[in-house]
Amino acid sequence: MRRRQSDVLVVVPAFNEERTIASVVEGLHRSVPDADVLVVDDGSRDGTARRARDAGAMVVAHAFNLGYGAALQTGYKRAERAGYQELVQMDADGQHDPGDVPRLLAPLRRGDADVVIGSRFALPTGYSMGVARSVGRLFFQRVLVALGGARIADPTSGFQALGRRAFGFCCGDFYPSDFPDIDVLLLLHRHGFRIVEVPVTMAPSPPARVPMHTGLREVYYTYKMLLATFRSALTRTEHG
Amino acid sequence: MTPEHLDMERLRQLALEQPESGVTRAIAIVVSLCFLLAVLDLVRRGRLREEYTPIWVAVALGIMALSVWFDAVRMIARVIGAWTPSSTLYFCGMLFLLVLCLNYAVRLSAIATQVKLLAQEISLLRAELADRDDDERGGPLRDAP
């Protein structure tokens, strides 16, 4: 793995994404040639790590699958130790456009935000959520707004930019191993981090992929979000 | 109260006052002894860590104490409004298992966090080690941008 060459690290968590990972990494090198690219291989059983390395990315590989959130957090930890100032996270399945990275970084650099979320709300795609999740989403949006936060339309977006203080904070043990959602945003907000949302273009997830949450899992997911929000709402913070 | 009607409270007292059989008592003592020996043997063979044994030793001794001093079970049964000593024992056993399971879930959560931390740490350290190997080979192996 090569040393830090830049102040910006793009973290791409990947689990069995050998079909798309190379083009994602190459797209990043084209769109943001200054940034370092780190692929966190979350215990893939295919050639994800090799393809990422061949495409010129740095690779950190988990020995076994830990979950999307844990893979992201490994990226945060690497960024913190190597001394990066800014971090962009992006999915490995090709649904995010590397060309949008500068748009995500802009509010960080202007000093307007600590966390920037790239949201698909500008573009009504064929993406649909289940009922339970939509209701849960609405509820948590209200909670965040009630606590004085911004209205975040797309809190599960995997396309985000974080400043050094924000990704350093997310290295904590509270960070979920599966899918960070609005509960993490709530916690960030309560710790005084400023969150903004910018519109980005997003291709719908490739049809071959299983939807992230279906049926019972979706109910469980909403339930888990409720508990996590409950916890973050009750956690005492230094900002009150 | 007419004789046609069952006096429930009297019936309960009768149930509670039934003498337990010597066989039951003997079985309880044998079971608790075997259990205690099994726990000690697991420790001896290194399959059970010492810090997990107090609860099981306490269970074994508890069963033993109750089989000797069975009136204690009757006393508890009276206090909690149970009908028979056996149902009291079932209730206590269930309660104990419930608390124990919750305790294990808490321990599992802690272990899951530790495993995640270790796995992340190993992957990061391996990456850093690769950096050093590159340095020793005279500069990192880089693809041209």
Which residues 155-184 of chain A have a CB within 8 Å of chain B? 173, 177
DSSP summary character for residue B30 = H
Domain A8-234 CATH class label: alpha beta
More confident position, A231 or A49: A49
Which residue do the tokens 């608390």 mark? Answer: B99
Q: Are A78 and A9 in contact (CB under 8 A)?
A: yes
Helix or strand (DSSP H, E) at A48: helix A48-54
Q: CA of B94 to nearest chain A CA: how many angstroms apart?
A: 27
Nearest alpha-carbon partner for A23 in A61, A52, A64, A62? A52
pLDDT at B53 over 70: yes
* Alpha carbon distance A178, A108 (integer Å): 26
Task: Provide mean pLDDT across the span A89-102.
Answer: 94
* ipTM confidence score: 0.80
Per-residue pLDDT at B145: 40
Per-residue pLDDT at A121: 58
pLDDT at B124 over 90: yes
pLDDT at A230 over 80: no
Task: Extract long-range pairs of B10-15: CB within 8 Å, 24+ residues apart.
Answer: B12/B83, B15/B83, B15/B84
Q: Are A13 and A75 in contact (CB under 8 A)?
A: yes
Percent of chain B at pLDDT exceeding 70: 91
CB-based contacts of A48, cutoff 8 Å, min separation 6: A14, A15, A16, A17, A18, A21, A39, A41, A92
Q: Where are the alpha helices (DSSP H) in chain B?
A: 8-17, 22-44, 53-68, 71-80, 85-136
More confident position, A227 or A69: A69
Per-residue pLDDT at A125: 46
* Alpha carbon distance A148, A145 (integer Å): 5
DSSP summary character for residue B99 = H
Pick from A1, A29, A70: which is nearest to B120 by CB? A70
pLDDT at A129 over 70: no
The beta strand positions in chain A, using DSSP E, are: 8-14, 36-41, 58-61, 86-89, 115-119, 160-163, 195-199
Q: Of A19-23, A196-200, B13-17, which has the strongest mean pLDDT?
A: A19-23
Angle at B20 between CA B16 and CA B26, to 5 degrees: 150
More confident position, A232 or A62: A62
Q: Do A64 and B119 touch (CB under 8 A)?
A: yes
B101 interface with A at CB cutoff 8 Å:
no
Q: Which residue of A has its CA nearest to B143?
A: A56
